[in-house]
């Protein structure tokens, strides 16, 4: 996440004027040898708002009534029945807990005259009711409020189940997705987060499919808020996963303009080559995912690879929406105006819920995202979309499909009805001779599961290895590892802890760095399950691990230093902060370093060979010296104690 600050400084010259609002953004410099393990939420504050940000007692932004009118949401009917998501369940995936979301949603509804959802449920990533730790202020809590309130705006009579992951790690969020897709009645899953795609990202594609025996599920994800770029510069173009998955509807962003309270026009949300720092809807061409059949003949920007987004909705924070969040901003000033593709994604999830409502009324099943929703998006008439012709996120918008808005924004009163199968009474299709369905490959198999080292001292990492993993006539897409935690023998999905997804080398799948921190000495059972491309799962493999008493941690010392400051033409001063962690014995690797700015945590980096780097972009003024003060704290891994640095001040 990029954090935004407003700072004021000391006078640089005798000229006097009011200091401008200045922007500082911080991000971890990733070790490109391994995939990023942490997802970022995709919301954006209005106007470069400071972090820690300040809420307001008054709501600002486009209201629910204005959004519903602009996109034709309130005009959807199926016969005499209003399209409002009744009978459907929207699952929303986020990290950490937002403790006041139920009361915040009630306050939001009271403000705008919306009905309460049919039901609202909060669960942890495994489907239990023991919720994760509360989100750090100003982060995922705001994301949760935005997602829940604005999915509800679009489909006000749908049920909502909020699945809260233990952390923002991709493995925890993925566990939440697996719980959501299997939850009874869920027809659409909304994911307002992502990370830069890697070659290994697409091993997770099978998780964005409807489970066997479940009604159809559509998966929706935000395309990102840094335009076509990585978020660190305009030199690297990258797409965000899971929005770029061929099984997921990627939702981009627009700038929505009203005319006399109704739809006026839209442009693609972006700031050209400055979108990486000034904001823009994500989009581009995947380096790794092949073009799905549904994009052929429609997408011209590539004929070989998957492109995103597929559709778009309002996301520009300048045309953003009010969000009520008393947890992050207090009961007296709970309102914020937010935007980002984190707004667009849950709104589109609401659109899918409305379409599914219509399908159920016709006696049809809810939509499967990969085989029905996505192909329909590309086959429906252009009259179902606002074709957005202007805007630039690093790629220019244009006639037809483009890499900033996809096919455009849906005209929901047309799009949802057509997605549901049209407005007429369904007729029986012509009969044809029965045919036998193609044979599906058998379930995958796992030869053995082992843990190494075994035994292990509590706190030390272990590697779980599933060997002999194969699927005759098919492809194994993933192997997931669990730890028994409920005391009952055998794997219990929803209560046993998902510890992660393995990395493949031939028929061997390995999950390294599995933490044993917090485990008391004793014997623990681990499980592995393989999933094939057809959704079939293997018989559960198991192994036991003996955990012994931990050794005393080695003391560490953490220092922070700043590199040279360079001044960019884009109005930023840039430096690299380097955190170094040393120990009396060994070199720490795998722990985390938290970067603090003026006492607030702003970024988390992973320690690799004793080092974690952060790129810092700082606003500067021609008239004032500005001083930015940082420090870091190291959270030790097994065998290494925590430590913190002294303050480092950077003057620009």
Q: Determine how β-strand 186-191 pairs with β-strand 89-95.
A: parallel
How many CB atoms are closer than 10 A to CB 437? 6
Q: Identify the pLDDT of residue 440.
A: 54
- Asked if the model's pLDDT at residue 272 lies above 50, the reply is yes
- Asked if the model's pLDDT at residue 13 lies above 50, the reply is no
| CA–CA separation, 162 and 142 (whole Å) | 14
- Asked if the model's pLDDT at residue 268 lies above 90, the reply is yes
Q: Identify the pLDDT of residue 39.
A: 53
Would you say 382 and 410 are in contact if contact means Cβ atoms under 8 Å apart?
no
- Asked if the model's pLDDT at residue 627 lies above 90, the reply is no
Helix H or strand E encompassing 262: strand 262-268
pLDDT tens per residue, range 90-138: 999 999 999 999 999 999 999 999 999 999 999 999 889 999 999 888 8
- Asked if the model's pLDDT at residue 40 lies above 60, the reply is no
| CA–CA separation, 592 and 608 (whole Å) | 9
Q: Identify the pLDDT of residue 232.
A: 67
* Nearest by Cα to 55 from 415, 324, 411, 456: 324
How many CB atoms are closer than 10 A to CB 648? 17
User: Mean pLDDT across the stretch 620-632?
Assistant: 82
Q: Identify the pLDDT of residue 518.
A: 82
Find the distance separating the first CA and the last CA of the chain, reported in whole Å: 23
Would you say 647 and 612 are in contact if contact means Cβ atoms under 8 Å apart?
no
How many CB atoms are closer than 10 A to CB 272? 16
Would you say 230 and 389 are in contact if contact means Cβ atoms under 8 Å apart?
no
- Asked if the model's pLDDT at residue 23 lies above 50, the reply is no
Question: Is pLDDT larger for residue 52 or for residue 401?
Answer: 401
- Asked if the model's pLDDT at residue 4 lies above 50, the reply is no
User: Mean pLDDT across the stretch 504-510?
Assistant: 91
- Asked if the model's pLDDT at residue 436 lies above 50, the reply is no
Q: Determine how β-strand 311-314 pairs with β-strand 284-290.
A: unpaired
Phi, psi of 347 (to 5 degrees): -65, -40
| CA–CA separation, 479 and 498 (whole Å) | 11
pLDDT tens per residue, range 570-583: 677 888 999 999 98
Question: Is pLDDT larger for residue 33 or for residue 430?
Answer: 430
The residues, ordered by sequence, that sit 6+ positions from 75 with a Cβ below 8 Å of its Cβ are: 412, 413
For the ranges 42-56, 161-175, 373-387, 591-605, the one whose mean pLDDT is highest: 373-387
pTM for this one?
0.66
Would you say 627 and 607 are in contact if contact means Cβ atoms under 8 Å apart?
no
Structure-token pair, residue 642: 């925590």
| CA–CA separation, 71 and 158 (whole Å) | 19
Largest CA distance in the chain: 89
pLDDT band at 423 (very low <50, low <70, confident <90, very high): low
pLDDT tens per residue, range 331-380: 999 999 988 999 999 999 999 999 999 999 999 999 999 999 999 999 99
Q: Identify the pLDDT of residue 624.
A: 72
Q: Identify the pLDDT of residue 407.
A: 97
Specify the residue for token string 């491309």: 533
Mean of the per-residue pLDDT values for the chain?
85
Question: Is pLDDT larger for residue 293 or for residue 422?
Answer: 293
User: Mean pLDDT across the stretch 437-448?
Assistant: 75
User: Mean pLDDT across the stretch 518-522?
Assistant: 89
Would you say 277 and 290 are in contact if contact means Cβ atoms under 8 Å apart?
no
Q: Determine how β-strand 456-457 pairs with β-strand 462-467.
A: unpaired
Helix H or strand E encompassing 196: strand 193-196
């Amino acid at each position: 996440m990029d954090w935004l600050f407003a700072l004021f400084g000391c006078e640089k010259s005798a000229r006097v004027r009011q200091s401008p609002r200045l922007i500082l953004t911080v991000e971890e410099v990733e070790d490109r040898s391994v995939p990023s393990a942490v997802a970022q939420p995709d919301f954006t504050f209005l106007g470069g708002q400071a972090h820690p940000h300040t809420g307001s007692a008054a709501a600002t932004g486009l209201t629910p009534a204005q959004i519903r009118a602009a996109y034709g949401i309130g005009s959807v009917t199926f016969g005499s029945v209003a399209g409002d998501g009744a009978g459907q369940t929207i699952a929303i995936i986020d990290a950490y807990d937002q403790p006041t979301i139920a009361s915040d949603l009630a306050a939001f509804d009271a403000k705008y005259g919306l009905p309460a959802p049919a039901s609202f449920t909060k669960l942890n990533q495994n489907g239990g009711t023991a919720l994760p730790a509360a989100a750090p202020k100003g982060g995922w809590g705001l994301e949760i409020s935005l997602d829940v309130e604005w999915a509800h705006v679009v489909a006000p009579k749908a049920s909502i189940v909020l699945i809260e992951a233990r952390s923002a790690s991709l493995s925890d969020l993925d566990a939440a997705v697996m719980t959501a897709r299997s939850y009874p009645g869920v027809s659409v899953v909304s994911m307002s987060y992502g990370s830069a795609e890697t070659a290994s990202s697409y091993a997770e594609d099978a998780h964005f499919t409807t489970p066997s025996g479940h009604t159809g599920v559509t998966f929706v994800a935000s395309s990102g808020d840094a335009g076509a770029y990585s978020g660190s510069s305009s030199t690297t173009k990258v797409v965000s996963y899971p929005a770029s998955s061929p099984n997921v509807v990627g939702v981009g962003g627009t700038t929505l303009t009203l005319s006399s309270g109704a739809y006026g026009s839209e442009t693609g949300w972006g700031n050209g080559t400055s979108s990486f720092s000034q904001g823009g809807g994500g989009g581009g061409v995947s380096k790794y995912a092949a073009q799905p059949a549904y994009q052929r003949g429609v997408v011209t920007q590539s004929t070989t690879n998957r492109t995103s987004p597929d559709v778009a909705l309002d996301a520009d924070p300048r045309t953003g929406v009010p969000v009520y969040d008393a947890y992050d901003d207090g009961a007296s000033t709970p309102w914020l105006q937010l935007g980002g593709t984190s707004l667009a994604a849950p709104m589109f999830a609401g659109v899918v819920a409305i379409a599914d409502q219509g399908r159920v009324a016709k006696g049809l099943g809810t939509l499967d995202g990969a085989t029905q929703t996505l192909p329909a998006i590309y086959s429906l008439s252009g009259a179902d979309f606002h074709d957005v012709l202007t805007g630039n996120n690093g790629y220019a918008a244009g006639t037809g499909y483009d890499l900033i808005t996809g096919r455009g924004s849906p005209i929901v009163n047309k799009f949802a009805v057509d997605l549901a199968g049209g407005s007429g009474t369904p007729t029986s299709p012509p009969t044809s001779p029965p045919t036998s369905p193609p044979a599906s490959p058998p379930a995958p198999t796992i030869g053995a599961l082992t843990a190494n080292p075994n035994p292990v001292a509590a706190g030390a990492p272990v590697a779980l290895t599933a060997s002999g993993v194969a699927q005759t006539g098919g492809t194994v897409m993933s192997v997931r590892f669990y730890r028994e935690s409920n005391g009952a023998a055998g794997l219990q999905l929803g209560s046993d802890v998902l510890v992660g997804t393995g990395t493949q080398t031939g028929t061997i799948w390995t999950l390294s760095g599995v933490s044993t921190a917090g485990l008391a000495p004793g014997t623990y059972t681990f499980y592995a399950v393989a999933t094939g491309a057809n959704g079939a799962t293997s018989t559960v493999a198991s192994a036991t691990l003996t955990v012994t008493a931990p050794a005393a941690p080695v003391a560490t010392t953490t220092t922070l230093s700043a590199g040279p400051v360079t001044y960019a033409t884009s109005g930023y001063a840039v430096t690299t902060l380097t955190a170094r962690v040393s120990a009396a014995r060994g070199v720490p690797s795998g722990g985390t370093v938290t970067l603090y700015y003026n006492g607030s945590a702003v970024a988390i980096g992973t320690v690799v060979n004793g080092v974690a780097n952060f790129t810092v972009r700082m606003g500067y003024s021609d008239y004032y010296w500005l001083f930015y003060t940082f420090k870091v704290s190291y959270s030790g891994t097994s065998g290494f104690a925590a430590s913190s640095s002294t303050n480092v001040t950077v003057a620009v």
